[in-house]
Amino acid sequence: MEYDDLFKIKPIYEYDILNSNLAYVVRENKPIVVINGEKINLNGYADSVKWINKNKALITLDPTGEEKRKILLWESGKINSILDDSFDNNSPYPINSGFLFLSNREDDTIHLYYMKNYEEIIKISKGKLPVSNFCSSGKYVVYSQGIYDNDIFISDLYGNIIDKISFPNSEQYPSSSQCFINDEEFMFLSNHKNYLSLYKYNIRTKQISTLIEENHEIYEAIPYNGITYIRDNNGEYEILNNNNIILAEGYNSELKSDNGYLYFLGSSYNHSFDIFRFKEKVEKLTNSMENIDNRGFVKPKKVKYDSNGIEIHALLYEKSENDSKGVVYIHGGPDWECIDYFNPEIQLFVQNGFKVICPNFRGSTGYGRKFNHLNDKDLGGGDLIDVINSVKLLGNVKVAVTGGSYGGYLTMMAITKYPDLWCSAVAVVPFVNWFTEKKFEREVLRQYDEIKMGDDENLLRDRSPIFFIDRIKSPLMILAGENDPRCPVEETLQIVKELEKLGKQVKYKVYKDEGHGFQQIENYVDSIKETVEFIKEHCK
C-alpha cells in the first residue's frame, strides 16, 4: 500500500436504515452524508444521519471540529437548520412528532432533551451527571446517566421519572438504540458482576431477568430473531444470534434490524468500515477499499504478558520475527482497547519492516469492570508500566512509541519517564499538563477526570509530562488539531515552548479547522505519512 492509496479508502462512519432505504456518513474529501445514493456536501463534517420517514432525515454536522454540532433537517433534497447555536447538539433520535437529542446547553454537562414538534425543547434528564446512551419506545424513554456508576432511568417524554435501575458501583446502559423488545420490556447491559452482561427489564412488573452472562463483555444487543448481540473476544467484536456466531472476527458495531435483515458496520485488519447485512448469509453493501490490494496486510496475533504481576493482553503485528525495528502503538481512551480493525498506520509500519505491539494496559475496556478500574487515581502510573513492559515482546530491537489522545499522553509520559528506551516518538493530539487540561478541556471530560484522576496536586504534577520535558532524549514530533476541545492545541504548544527554551528541536504540525482527530482527507493522509516517515527516519 502506498500513501496515495489512502485517498482512495472511503470508510463508512455511521448509517441508518428504514424500509430498505439506506443513509450513511462516508469519508470522501471529508465526512459527508449519502441518502439513497445522493451525496450531500455540507459546510462542515457530517457526524450522523437518522431517518424520520422515507422523505425526511436528521443530519448532525460539526462545522469546524470544535464539537459544537448542529442538527439539520433533510427533506426531499432540501436542507433546513433545526438546532444551530453555540452548544453541542448531537445524537438526534426521531420519535413521535419530534426527536430526542443530547446537548450541553445547560448545567455544564450532557443532558437528554426532547424537541417536541420541532419547536419546544423539553429537558428530560435531571441532576449534574452526563447522559450517554438512550433508547425509546415512543411512550417510554430509557437512558443511562453517570460516570463509572451509571444508573438507568425510565421516564416519559416530559422527564417524569417512572423507575430507575441501579446496582452499586457499576454501570448500566440500554443495550442499543433498538433496546425495546415490546411496549413494556427492554434490554439493558450491566457490569455489576464484573463483565457487561445482558438483562431484560419489565416496566410494568419491575422484574429484572438475566438473558446472557459470560466472561466476555457484551456491548450491544437487539431483538432480532430472538437476541442478536456483540461480544468482545480479545479485540474481536463477534456477532452472535441466540449464542450462534454469525461473524467471528473484526470490529462490528451498530446493530439494526429492518425488513427481516440484520444490518451492521464492520471492519477487520484487511478492510475498512463497511455496511453489511445478514439474513441467511452475510452480504457487503458498500466497498470502502475498492481498487486497494489488501493481500499484504497482516492480521494481528493475540498475545499476553506479565506486567508486575498483572496479565496484560495485546495485539502483535509482524511479518517476520527477525524484524529489527519495533513500534509500541498506544490506544486512546483510556477507556478503549486494541481492536482487530483496519489501521492503515499500523499496516504501513509493518510494511516498512517494523513489528508493532498494541497493549491493553490496565484500565482498558474489554476485560471486565475490575480491570477497567485498575488505573483509578493512577493515570500515567501502572498503565505506563504496562506499556513499558510490552517492549519485551518486540525482542531486542530499536523501538519507537506513538499514540493519539490518551495514547499521545502516555507517549509523552514514556519519553519523559523512560527517556533511554526510544529511538523516536510521535504524539498525536496529546495532553501533557493535568492542570491546564482539566481547566480547558470540554465539560464532560472535566467531570470524568475529576472522578478518574482526582485533584491531588502532587500526583497531577508527577503525572504531567510538561514538568519533565528536559529529560526527553528521543526525536519527537507532535500533531494537533487547531480546534480540539478534548486535548486543546495549547497542550501541544506548551511542549514546543519548553523544548525551544531548552534549545531542543521538535517537529510539530497544527492542522487548521480540525478537532480531536483529522477529518479532511489531505490532513488525515498527511498525519499518517508524517508519523510513519518520521519514525522510519529516526529508527534506521
How confident is the model over 322-340, as a mean pLDDT?
A: 95
pLDDT at 320: 82
Is there a domain that residue 173 lies in? no
CATH of the domain at 373: 3.40.50.1820
C-alpha 119/C-alpha 327 separation (Å) is 53
Mean pLDDT of the chain: 97
C-alpha 57/C-alpha 19 separation (Å) is 13
Is there a domain that residue 67 lies in? no
Please tell me what DSSP assigns to residue 1. -
Which of 229, 221, 232, 271 is closest to 246 using CA atoms? 229
How far from 29 is each of 12, 35, 345, 522, CA to CA, in Å? 13, 17, 19, 7
**Tens digits of residue pLDDT in 241-266:** 998 999 999 999 999 999 999 999 99
pLDDT at 490: 98
Which of 528, 515, 446, 458 is closest to 482 using CA atoms? 515
Collapsed DSSP state (helix, strand, coil) of residue 104: coil
DSSP string for 106-171: STTS-EEEEEETTTEEEE---SSSPEEEEEE-SS-EEEEESSSS-EEEEE-TT--EEEEE--TT--
Is there a domain that residue 65 lies in? no
DSSP string for 445-470: HHHHHHHHT---HHHHHHT-GGGGGG
Is there a domain that residue 495 lies in? yes
Q: Torsions phi, psi of 104, nearest 5?
A: -105, 35
Q: Among residues of the chain, what percentage have pLDDT more than 70?
A: 100
| Contact (CB, 8 A) for 162 and 140 | yes
Helices H, strands E: what count in the chain?
A: 9, 36
Is there a domain that residue 388 lies in? yes
Is there a domain that residue 24 lies in? no
C-alpha 269/C-alpha 267 separation (Å) is 7
**Those residues with Cβ within 8 angstroms of residue 58's Cβ, 6 or more apart along the chain or in another chain:** 49, 50, 52, 71, 72, 73, 74, 82, 92, 94, 99
Which of 206, 226, 214 is closest to 189 using CA atoms? 214
How many CB atoms are located within 10 Å of the residue 522 CB? 12
Beta bridge pairs of residue 144:
152
**Those residues with Cβ within 8 angstroms of residue 156's Cβ, 6 or more apart along the chain or in another chain:** 139, 140, 141, 162
pLDDT at 84: 97
Counting other chains too, the contacts that 413-418 makes at CB distance below 8 Å and 24 or more residues apart are 413/380, 413/384, 413/463, 413/465, 414/328, 414/330, 414/384, 414/387, 414/388, 415/465, 415/471, 415/472, 415/473, 415/474, 415/476, 416/465, 416/468, 416/469, 416/471, 416/472, 417/384, 417/468, 417/471, 418/388
Domain membership of residue 319 as a residue range: 301-538
Residues of 471-491 as b/e, b for ≥16 C-beta within 10 angstroms?
A: ebebbbbbbbbebbbbbbbbb
Which of 146, 64, 56 is closest to 99 using CA atoms? 56
Strand order in the sheet with 31-35: 12-18, 21-27, 31-35, 38-40
Residue 107 has pLDDT above 80, yes or no: no
**Tens digits of residue pLDDT in 380-397:** 999 999 999 999 999 988
C-alpha 526/C-alpha 221 separation (Å) is 37
pLDDT at 396: 81
- Peptide bond before residue 334 is cis, with ω within 30 degrees of 0: yes
Q: How confident is the model at residue 447 (pLDDT cuts 50, 70, 90)?
A: very high
pLDDT at 321: 76
pLDDT at 271: 97
> Exposed, middle or buried by CB within 10 Å (0-12, 13-18, 19+), for 261?
middle
**Tens digits of residue pLDDT in 313-326:** 999 999 987 788 99
What's the total number of domains in the chain?
1
C-alpha 465/C-alpha 408 separation (Å) is 11
| Contact (CB, 8 A) for 424 and 465 | no
C-alpha 525/C-alpha 6 separation (Å) is 6
Query: In whole angstroms, what separates CA 300 from the centre of its chain?
Result: 20
Collapsed DSSP state (helix, strand, coil) of residue 315: strand
Beta bridge pairs of residue 23:
16, 35
Is there a domain that residue 132 lies in? no
Beta bridge pairs of residue 220:
230
How confident is the model over 374-378, as a mean pLDDT?
A: 98
Q: Among residues of the chain, what percentage have pLDDT more than 90?
A: 97
**Tens digits of residue pLDDT in 130-158:** 999 999 999 999 999 999 999 999 999 99
> Exposed, middle or buried by CB within 10 Å (0-12, 13-18, 19+), for 539?
buried
Is there a domain that residue 283 lies in? no
**Tens digits of residue pLDDT in 463-514:** 999 999 999 999 999 999 999 999 999 999 999 999 999 999 899 999 999 9
C-alpha 147/C-alpha 137 separation (Å) is 25
Say which residue the cell 502506498 belongs to.
Answer: 2
Residue 235 has pLDDT above 90, yes or no: yes
Question: CA torsion, points 111, 117, 119, 122, in degrees to nearest 10?
Answer: -30
How confident is the model over 69-97, as a mean pLDDT?
A: 96
